[in-house]
Amino acid sequence: MPPCPALTQGKNKIELRVKKKLAVIAIGGNSLIKHRSQQTVEDQYRAICETIRHLVDLVEHGYQLVITHGNGPQVGFILLRSEIARKEIGLHIVPLSSCVADTQGAIGLQIQQALTDELEKRNQVAKAVTIVTQVEVSPTDPGFEAPDKPVGEFYQADQLEELIKQHPGWILKEDANRGFRRVVPSPVPLKIVEQEAINALLADGFQVIAAGGGGVPVVRGKEGLSCVDAVIDKDKTAALLATNLQAPLLVISTAVEQVMLNYGTTQEKALGRVSLQEIERYFQEGHFAPGSMGPKIEAAISFLKNGGKKVIITNPKNIGAALACGKGTQISR
């Protein structure tokens, strides 16, 4: 593959001299927690180590990686601790933007350590780094008027009455037959503020962890950038990042092996190789839940329409097999 052409964003320009193929990988936040009984930091690190072993298969296929990740449950833990601390000792509430930044650092560190160790084991160049990433959104984005992004834990129907009493401002919606979750505004990502830093690190041979949790949402005003109380969908940010980098491959790692039509019904059907036109039709027919598979499919469509070649959606253990023998759901132009 020839070197990537120079990329321009904003006023400055930086040349990418990347000799390897680029793959942008989006790891689901819930796939880092295998079970409700396995939610500790140590449990999550073990899950990350297992996922990273599969991602390094891509490195051995000649890919350089840009990894982003979800953070819904982890943000939920921080918010819960913050609420308990407020009630018990009057400590201040942690803003949602700070929760996203905190999880970028904490989860990014675990991915960085696991990735470095696995690369060393396989005699690959062990250079990995995490960037706390801001993503610019529009202050007039319609997402602020219609919150729909799930964050935090899953709750059951019998918990709703007490939750509403405790948090009258929360909006709770059912999430793909898995329970109820809090939803918050989810504006569309417009610009990755640290894009040039990502470019420079890739050019220097690093595997990069960036835009965790979709990035810290910021708006630009007269005084510069300021954070907003929202969450950007990490798959949409991954698609924007992959488009900016002109990466040929976007991998969306999730908890299931394949995308399903008629999910949760007796007419379930797994999707293998599908075209952009087919997946667009299924999306328009409403097969994919807004709080679950919907944003992943929307991100895949956006990436392919903006020049991407292939999207793979599967669980971590099938990522290597997806490249080698077509496992998972593979969407291409």
What the chain holds in terms of domains, given with CATH numbers, is: 7-332 (3.40.1160.10)
Q: Residue 324's pLDDT is what?
A: 84
pLDDT digits (tens, 9 = 90+) for 181-198: 888 899 999 999 999 999
The answer to whether 93 and 76 have CB atoms below 8 angstroms apart is no
Confidence (pLDDT) at 47: 92
Burial of 21 (0-12, 13-18, 19+ CB in 10 A): middle
- Of 70, 234, 310, 318, the active-site residue reads 234
**pTM for this structure?**
0.86
Catalytic residue among 28, 30, 72, 327: 30
Q: Is 165 a catalytic residue?
A: no
* Tokens, residue 38: 């396995």
CA atoms within 13 A on the CB side of 121: 11
Active site residue 30: yes
Tell me whether residue 29 is one of the annotated catalytic residues.
yes
Please report how many Cα atoms fall inside a 13 Å half-sphere around the Cα of residue 224, on the Cβ side.
2
Position 31 scores a pLDDT of 67
- Can 296 be counted among the known catalytic residues? yes
pLDDT in the model for residue 202: 97
Of 29, 76, 308, 320, catalytic: 29
Which residues make beta-bridge pairs with 244? none
Q: Length of the chain in residues, anyone?
A: 333
Q: Which among 28, 71, 149, 236 is annotated as catalytic? A: 149
Phi, psi of 99 (to 5 degrees): -60, -40
CA distances from 246 to 102, 163, 302 (A): 29, 44, 13
Is 231 in contact with 149 (CB distance < 8 Å)? yes
Q: In b/e form, how buried is each residue of 292-321, taking b as 16+ CB within 10 angstroms?
A: bbbbbbbbbbbbbeeebebbbbbbbebbbe
pLDDT score for 7: 35
Which of 70, 108, 152, 296 is an active site residue?
Answer: 296
Q: What is the pLDDT of residue 6?
A: 36
What residues of the chain score a pLDDT lower than 70? Answer: 1-20, 29-31, 176, 291
